[in-house]
Amino acid sequence: MGALAAKYGVCVTNSLRAGILSGMDFQPVERSAKAFQQSLTSQEIASVCRRAFGDTATPVSAVELGTGMYNNIYRVALAGRERPVILRVAPHKQRQFRSERRLMRNEYATQPWLAVIAPLMPQVLAADWSHQVIDRDWMIQTQLDGVPAPEHLGTYPRAAWPVFFRQMGAIARCVHDVRGPRFGPVGGPGYGTWGEAVIASLEDIAADLDGVDLDAADVRKVAAAAAHDRAVLDQVTEPRLLTGDLWTVNALMDPAASEPVITGVVDFDRAWFGDPAADWTIRMATAKQDERTAFWETYGVLDRSPAAKWRARVYQARHLGAIRLERHRLAKADAVRDSYGAMAEVLAELA
């Protein structure tokens, strides 16, 4: 083949690649042309694999997983490789909200800070922000063992569920104990004070809501309240690492264990440095008084001072604004409408 390639160059290479593609089992998720997530083609996936693993990389199958709501996620099997890999592809730049800009790059920057839970996390095998192969950021990771917690936790009696949430509390505690150099998203921009970071985040969310013709007045009122009492936010002086999105949906479990066992955690693209109480994990742990209260047995006691309670209302408003954007992206009009009532309740408590 070497002599032929030297003589005929790219023609031979393209013929071989066409043969590779024709044999790939490609299973994308079918979506409308207006959907936020847009699948790659089989040719694009093959090109990504060649960029990551060399020109001889041969994808045998590529199955798009429907579990992600932001990135496109594929389980890719490669010839000669024992285990499949996970390919994650970010949305096109023009589809990304200001408050969600370059989330994949943020996750990549977060990896060294998450060394404390490295055994639970996938390893990054390749990443490419150049847009030379496809016009989107992408990252390839190892595939973790386990099944998604939302699919498996319910197979255990509810009496066993606290075991799961105690593990979740221990993982969150490990992450929150990591000290950062500044406030804000791990990949930047950085802020000198916590108040600056929170207010900037609220302003970005409000700008995004404006951009999709949704009323952002309530988010701006929260931002104004946060600015007025910024000294309360600035009582948080030590940046800690926040997971950004850790809860059951981003946990994997051992399918054969006699009791719930978390085997992996994924999707840290929203990680930032700040007040641990602002983390999505804390919001979910406090949302209901059910089996999840076991979370606190390993995490520790949450600050219940008046200042901490006021900050928690600001954090709740920030979560609600982000949820509104996500529900809009997913075309869930009823959930978008409901977010205004929930935000009004938070604003009444902030007044």
- What are the domain boundaries of the chain? 2-142, 147-350
- pLDDT tens for each residue of 162-195: 999 999 999 999 999 999 999 999 999 999 999 9
Torsion (CA) 250, 253, 255, 258 in degrees, nearest 10: -150
- Roughly what angle, to the nearest 10 degrees, separates helices 42-53 and 10-22? 120
The predicted model gives 131-142 an average pLDDT of: 98
Instruction: Judge contact between 240 and 179, C-beta under 8 A.
Output: yes
Distance CA 61, CA 49 (A): 12
- What CATH code is assigned to 147-350? 3.90.1200.10
Task: Report which of 248, 255, 250, 323 is spatially closest to residue 292, judged by C-alpha positions.
Answer: 248
Instruction: Report the alpha-carbon distance of residue 64 to residue 29 in Å, rounded.
Output: 6
pLDDT at 320 over 90: yes
Q: How sure is the predictor about 69, in pLDDT bands with cuts at 50, 70 and 90?
A: confident
Query: pLDDT tens across 249-282, in order?
Result: 999 999 999 999 999 999 999 999 999 999 999 9
Q: Over pLDDT 70: what percentage of the chain?
A: 94
The confidence score (pLDDT) of residue 12 equals: 34
- At residue 35, the pLDDT reads 87
% the chain with pLDDT above 90: 89
Confidence of residue 11 (pLDDT cuts 50, 70, 90): very low
Return phi, psi of residue 225, to 5°. -65, -40
Helix, strand or coil, per DSSP, at residue 162? helix
pLDDT of residue 32: 86
Q: Is the pLDDT of residue 1 over 80?
A: no
- Is residue 122 scored above 80 in pLDDT? yes
The alpha-helical segments, DSSP class H, found in the chain are 2-8, 10-22, 42-53, 103-110, 149-152, 161-176, 194-211, 217-228, 230-233, 280-286, 295-299, 306-329, 333-350
For β-strands 124-128 and 138-142, DSSP reports them as antiparallel
pLDDT at residue 66, as a whole number: 82
Is residue 159 very low, low, confident or very high in pLDDT (cuts 50, 70, 90)?
very high
Give the pLDDT of residue 16. Answer: 37
- Spatial CB neighbours of 203, under 8 Å, sequence gap ≥ 6: 220, 223
Q: Is the pLDDT of residue 28 over 90?
A: yes
Compute the distance between CA of residue 221 and CA of residue 206 in angstroms, rounded to an integer.
10
Mean pLDDT score of the chain: 93
Whether 18 has a pLDDT exceeding 60, the answer reads no
CA diameter of the chain: 78
What is the Cα–Cα distance from 184 to 43, expressed in whole angstroms? 37
pLDDT at 6 > cutoff 90 = no
Q: Does domain 2-142 have CATH number 3.30.200.20?
A: yes
Residues 284 and 310 sit within 8 Å (Cβ to Cβ) = no
Q: In terms of Cα–Cα distance, which of 93, 1, 136, 107 is closest to 55? A: 1
**63 CB burial (10 A radius; 0-12, 13-18, 19+):** middle
Q: What is the DSSP string of 39-72?
A: PPPHHHHHHHHHHHH-TT--EEEEEEETT-SSSE
